[in-house]
Structure 1
Amino acid sequence: MDWLHLDLLPPLLKGLRITLILTVIGIAAALVCAFLAGLARLSKFAALRWSAAAYVELFRGTSLLVQLFWIYFALPMLLDIRLSAMAAAVIALGLNYGAYGSEIVRSSIAAVSKDQLEAAIALNMKPGQRLRRIVLPQAWRMMLPGFGNLQIELLKGTSLVYLITLADVTYQAMMLRSYDLSSTAAIFSWLLILYFAAAYALTSLVRFAERRAATGRG
């Protein structure tokens, strides 16, 4: 069993735990940013639309790696705001992938039939009621495939956080490799397997959510 290099697994699994925690929190942060920006882009207030558009263009148009470095290294120097590596990683991932997710939110809400909105208005539903009872239940079904792809991209994006000293699974792999270069192939093979297993689990959860959301839809 030596060819499997099972002795590499304990430190890699320790790092995988950090990766999964970061992924889950990052997904939650990205969803919040996506909904806030997506709804703001549909607002009747021009200032909100412009602000959301500026945020989306900034974070979609710049590198996630640069954003990580800026939040973790530059922000403390400019504004004396010091963040832990985990906090900096969550903020960068949330803002970056939230910018991409905002387009999913915007387009899905815009795709809801106008006739239903007009019917809701005729029933004297307030804007909040229309959004909660009519728009979001239908738009959510359309959002799920896009959000599923986005969360896989976010998982893969966590591989950059080792560059700001966060001890994720990639960090552990690089440390193991620095101690034993002869095990490089085994280390990166295990890294591929662990990332694939995590991505497959996330994909399965999204497919389950899609089936649940589709239940009872005519």
Structure 2
Amino acid sequence: MGDFLDVLLDNRSDVLDGLWTTIQATVYGAALALVLSFALGLSALHRLLLVRGLSRTVVEFFRGTSLYIQLFWLYYAMPQLLGYELDPLFCGVVAFGLNYGAYGSEVVRGAVNAVPRAQREAAVALNMTPLQQMRRVVLPQAWVQMIPPFANLLIQLVKCTPLLWLISVADLMTVMEGLRKRTGDTVEAYLTLLVMYFVLAAALTFLMNALERSAAARLGRRPGTGSLLRSRSTTKAGVA
């Protein structure tokens, strides 16, 4: 293990570059997934059947096909249609965004549907427009419920970034695989990878938990307390 650590330290610049690439793929992929989650999730609740149908078709396609195939299609097949090569990191970010955006759309749809109808009716009584209802009443409550499942999807995205190795992106997995082949220290290399990915996942979990607490505090709730339960308890208190 000591010899591998010496090699790791000697190549720390390459390792840090690979770590930075992994972080970039995670952040950019998560940002794209978040945008698509809201776009597809809210479209699935639209009054027009055509909009709902298009949203469901896109979601089911990217949920029902393999992330491996999506990644290979973007990197190997798409350039043949376009006539020029795409940046491999760009292909990875797009594949992650499309795949996890499809899963995230279900999180958005479910959280919005979970907001009690009474909240919407109160917003209508206040003469709010549909956009104002969504922005001021529905989304602030739904957002708190979205954060835990979004956190799970974010951790899953981090754990999928080693797939970038398959399309020659110099991410953390690629760099460590190079060191493993150079030194022959398979156990040490993969153990180091496990630890590094665990630290990344733990850091993201900490940030998402802090975000959940902050969002819940703005609504005057404790994290994990759903609006439906709060609504019921308030009703009981009023009856009493």
What TM-score do the two structures reach when normalised by structure 2? Answer: 0.87
* Pairing 1:38-77 to 2, within 5 Å after superposition: 38-77=41-80
* Unmatched 5+ stretches in structure 1: none
The answer to whether 1:170 aligns with 2:173 is: yes
1:190 is aligned with what amino acid? Answer: T
How is 1:65-214 mapped onto 2 (pairs within 5 angstroms)?
65-80=68-83, 82-181=85-184, 183-214=185-216
Alignment of 1:20-31 (within 5 A): 20-31=23-34
CA RMSD between the two structures? 1.4
In structure 2, the gaps of 5 or more residues are: 222-229, 231-240
Identity of aligned residues (%): 47
Deviations 1:5-63 (CA, angstroms, capped at 9, x unpaired): 24225133321111011101111110001000000100011111111111111111111
- TM-score normalised to structure 1 length: 0.95
| Higher alpha-carbon deviation: 186-195 or 80-89 | 80-89
Distance of aligned partners of 1:140 and 1:78 in 2 relative to their CA distance in 1, 3 Å threshold: same
Equivalence for 2:20: 17
SS of 1:5's equivalent?
helix
Amino acid in the other structure paired with 1:94: G
Question: Counterparts of 1:176 and 1:2 in 2: how far apart (Å)?
Answer: 14
Aligned residue identity for 1:8 = L
Structure ID, larger Rg: 2
How many aligned residue pairs are there? Answer: 217
AA at the equivalent of 1:128 = L
- Whether the 8 Å CA contact 1:8–1:187 is kept in 2: the answer is no
